Chain A
């Protein structure tokens, strides 16, 4: 092993790492500290003598209570979960079949099709919501969960397809050929051999799709308008900022509760998720 000077390790490793960790985690800390700070401290002048912006001595759960009782936050949470799960399910199903076909089947224009599916993912939602709004109105889906469940796959399916296609390509095709010789049909080989091996890839596609739809803002803002129909990201921002009044405590409590499920999903699958990204299967 090469012996390096200690200061080099500090300059190139520990100090940048510390800066990065603080920069990443500070917003979460700020979110937490704000959500448990009593109103009296929250709206105190920054220059007040007893101002303690980075900690509080009187933690309170008042904001969480208010959020649950006085707003429709629990309903937003349920809306978001419901919409995210169903649109993820639809997108994974389509992405699996499309990704497999693009990775394995030989048909005319397969390459072009693969690329054009990816290109649709690059169209920004801020442009796409205009034609989509027209469609939603024509089908009279506005202000229903289906407005989002059916529009989220427009970016989730290309995403899942592309990710899974890449994963399927890393699986040696001999595995499947062997299964087909062993007595399986093409579909049987796909379901019995390829899908079980691709579980890490499928899980990472699912997690990504879930978080993308959980955090989605623009479509949710445009297609839903009654307070009890909204999702967490839109509800928190539109219902807890009234005019120029910011309900900081409840806002942060809502943001915290909104990000907890995502954090749980991530940490639960983190091992699969990591192998899914680096994904490699040896025969």
Chain B
């Protein structure tokens, strides 16, 4: 059981600055997910925690110890790799027992721990097989089993579900979450899949180009994104963005562009006042766009034309065009619209997001 502390962590390869000034406090027993597009530095950060990459500058501590110069074997961590990394010449049992054997555990203890882990993961009948005789999902379980028998201070996961098919991935995701609750061990999990990040993480760290963009609980990232990148990255389908001009009429601020005219909600007026006459980015999530009812406030409705209809069963995605703006709306499956029809949409004034055009920070 341990906390993990990253202080001013930097990693430079010859020309690439892969990780930039990362500061992160991962609390004891917390499940933290690092998420971001490929090349954002999330895997490098994880590998530095594991001790597989040298640190260019900064400090990493696990528990009370600074581990900068400790080799991986002395950091008391376990890692699950994307390609599982099972030892092909050993049986499942030997794969799981390897770490304990290296640490000179007595044989009965090894046996007990492997049996327990196999029980938890439901791979009891596979112990005598070789990795090549297992399916992808089974290999994944063995890889997890090999990590949990060690009872390490920290679990590290490097995109462990990426090689599984979609159905199995959802199933393993739930199992991992259940497992974490049962074992109550600090875990750091790297993925590029925002759904995995949101469902698994106690807290989620969004990274881009080596920088941390935002750290927060999943719903906090969703409702209060710190910048345009996080807003666009979290949520599926992605948030709609439109460039608007802030104008003032009758003492109220309006965000408008050809095709869209929305009154800035009361609570936001003060913060947007300095942007009068300037361009900002308006963001609205597809789920915050609805067909306008007759009583809807006219300040938050606009006309649009349907271009594509994607019926998904539990919901319908409408790709619409309002003036120059291409937007996606996520509407109820009972809504009956056809392509090329006109539809009047209303947006939820409480769920509007504004971003500075230059530094992309939320306003």
A interface, CB within 8 angstroms of B = 172, 174-175, 177-185, 188, 193, 196-197, 281-283
Contact B98–A182 (Cβ < 8 Å): yes
- Chain A residue nearest to B97 (CB atoms) is A182
- Chain B residue nearest to A188 (CB atoms) is B102
User: Beyond A182-B98, A182-B99, A282-B88, is A174–B71 a contact (Cβ under 8 Å)?
Assistant: no
B89 at the binding interface (Cβ < 8 Å): yes
B325 at the binding interface (Cβ < 8 Å): no
A180: which of B73, B82, B103 is its contact (CB, 8 Å)? B73
B52: which of A180, A182, A193 is its contact (CB, 8 Å)? A180
Min CB distance A229 to B, Å, is 43
A181: which of B78, B82, B86, B87 is its contact (CB, 8 Å)? B78
B interface, CB within 8 angstroms of A = 50-52, 71-73, 75, 77-79, 81-89, 98-99, 102-103, 131-132, 146, 150
Min CB distance A175 to B, Å, is 5
Contact B102–A172 (Cβ < 8 Å): no
- Can you name 7 extra interface pairs (CB under 8 A) apart from A177-B72, A181-B50, A181-B72? A178-B81, A178-B146, A180-B52, A180-B72, A181-B51, A183-B73, A183-B99
Q: A residues within 8 A CB of B73?
A: 180-185
Q: B residues within 8 A CB of A185?
A: 71, 73
Q: B residues within 8 A CB of A197?
A: 87-89
Contact A283–B89 (Cβ < 8 Å): no
Instruction: Give CA–CA (A180, B73) in the complex, Å.
Output: 6
User: Beyond A177-B72, A282-B132, is A184–B85 a contact (Cβ under 8 Å)?
Assistant: no
Q: B residues within 8 A CB of A281?
A: 88
Contact B81–A174 (Cβ < 8 Å): yes
- Chain A residue nearest to B101 (CB atoms) is A183
User: Beyond A177-B72, A282-B132, is A182–B150 a contact (Cβ under 8 Å)?
Assistant: yes
- Chain B residue nearest to A193 (CB atoms) is B87
Instruction: Give CA–CA (A182, B132) in the complex, Å.
Output: 21
Contact B88–A181 (Cβ < 8 Å): no
- Chain A residue nearest to B150 (CB atoms) is A182
A178: which of B51, B75, B79, B132 is its contact (CB, 8 Å)? B79
Counting chain B CB atoms within 10 Å of each CB, which of A172, A177, A188 scores highest? Answer: A177
Instruction: Give CA–CA (A196, B98) in the complex, Å.
Output: 14
Q: A residues within 8 A CB of B88?
A: 175, 197, 281-283
- Chain B residue nearest to A281 (CB atoms) is B88
- Could you show 12 A-B contacts with beta carbons less than 8 Å apart? A174-B85, A180-B51, A180-B52, A181-B72, A181-B73, A181-B79, A182-B73, A182-B102, A183-B73, A184-B102, A197-B87, A283-B88
